[in-house]
């Protein structure tokens, strides 16, 4: 809240005089202000009079209010708390059982003040050290220490053989061997028909000229087609006659006698 910008003069605020000088600028919050006031008591912080400190702080805030200075909320919270603490310190106990005594609260506040002061001094001591790039310098042009990585490959004989096997197998798969399809060719049919025709003067079905061992499928169908085509060829050559009695009916063939 009251924290100032990160960069500024690292000047601690001038010790506020409790009487007149009312200046809320320059404090890093109420604890910081309390610490500044405490330093005015010029005693060891462990022996600080918290009661006196509370009075100083309250007087300070009261003065600020008289001057209608804007006072941040956390300063007012602290003022209220100190007023409460003061009452606890002045009134004889018994305090409520579940609350710390006034003395304990005062000790806690004294501890917090000491701790903040310790940190402020530690910061000052840090900053007073020789700083790199300002007071001390590293080597301007370090050659550097190269790291050379020497790879060690982890491959087992199994990996090697497996890779070779996989590679071989992939190779086999990648070259497609297509077995020549077995089809009954027209040449086959011409030869077969030519060979058989002389023996059949009477009409017989075309199908009966198919080779006997066909068992259907592609080969048989190719044989039917080839034999039919061959019969047309032979009919054109005047070597046989074709007959079909109805559409899609069986086709009959018979040989023609040799032309005279």
Pick from 62, 69, 103, 119 the residue near another protein by CB under 8 A: 119
Tell me the closest approach of the beta carbon of residue 255 to another protein, in angstroms: 15
Q: Which of 42, 68, 125, 236 binds another protein (CB under 8 A)?
A: 125
Cβ atoms of 243 and 252 closer than 8 Å: yes
Site for another protein in 221-250 (CB under 8 A): 221, 250
- Closest separation in Å from C-beta 180 to another protein: 9
CA–CA gap between residue 260 and residue 258 (Å, rounded): 6
Nearer to another protein, 67 or 178 (CB): 178
Residue ranges in 145-204 that form contacts with another protein under rule CB under 8 A: 145-157, 159-174, 176-179, 181-182, 184, 188, 196, 204
What is d(CA 117, CA 39) in angstroms, rounded to the nearest whole number? 10
Distances (CA, A) of 37 to 17, 99, 106: 8, 27, 15
Question: Which residue, 163 or 238, has its beta carbon nearer to another protein?
Answer: 163
Distance, first Cα to last Cα, the chain: 131
| Shortest Å, Cβ 42 to another protein | 20
| Contacts (CB under 8 A) with another protein, residues 33-72 | none
Angle between the 102-128 and 50-66 helix axes, to the nearest 10 degrees?
Answer: 80
Q: Toward another protein, which CB reaches closer, 94 or 140? A: 140
Q: In degrees, to the nearest 5, what angle opens at C-alpha 57 toward C-alphas 23 and 26?
A: 30
69, 21 contact by CB (below 8 A): no
Binders in 68-87 for another protein, by CB under 8 A: 74, 77-78, 80-81, 84
**Which region, judged by CB under 8 A, interacts with another protein, from 8-16, 54-62, 89-97, 239-247?**
8-16
Residue from 14, 15, 104, 243 touching another protein (CB under 8 A): that is 104
Q: Which residues of 146-157 are buried (b: 16+ CB within 10 A; e: fewer)?
A: eeeeeeeeeeee
Instruction: State the DSSP H helix or E strand holding residue 250, giving kind and residue range, or none if neither.
Output: none
Tell which one of 62, 69, 100, 229 touches another protein (CB under 8 A).
100
């Amino acid at each position: 809240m009251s924290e100032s910008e990160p960069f500024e003069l690292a000047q601690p605020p001038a010790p506020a005089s409790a009487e007149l000088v009312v200046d809320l600028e320059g404090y890093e919050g109420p604890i910081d202000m309390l610490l500044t006031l405490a330093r005015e008591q010029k005693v060891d912080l462990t022996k600080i009079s918290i009661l006196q400190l509370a009075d100083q702080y309250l007087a300070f805030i009261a003065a600020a209010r008289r001057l209608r200075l804007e006072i941040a909320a956390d300063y007012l919270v602290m003022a209220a708390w100190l007023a409460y603490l003061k009452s606890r310190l002045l009134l004889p106990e018994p305090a409520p059982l579940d609350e710390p005594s006034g003395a304990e609260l005062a000790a806690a506040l004294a501890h917090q003040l000491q701790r903040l002061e310790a940190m402020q001094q530690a910061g000052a001591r840090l900053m007073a050290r020789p700083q790199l790039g300002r007071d001390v310098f590293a080597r301007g042009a370090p050659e550097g220490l190269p790291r050379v990585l020497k790879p060690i490959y982890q491959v087992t004989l199994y990996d090697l053989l497996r890779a070779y096997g996989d590679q071989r197998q992939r190779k086999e798969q990648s070259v497609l061997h297509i077995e020549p399809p077995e089809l009954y060719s027209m040449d086959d049919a011409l030869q077969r028909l030519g060979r058989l025709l002389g023996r059949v003067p009477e009409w017989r079905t075309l199908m009966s000229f198919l080779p006997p061992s066909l068992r259907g499928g592609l080969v048989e169908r190719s044989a039917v087609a080839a034999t039919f085509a061959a019969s047309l060829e032979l009919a054109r050559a005047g070597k046989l006659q074709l007959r079909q009695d109805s559409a899609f009916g069986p086709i009959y063939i018979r040989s023609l006698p040799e032309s005279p």
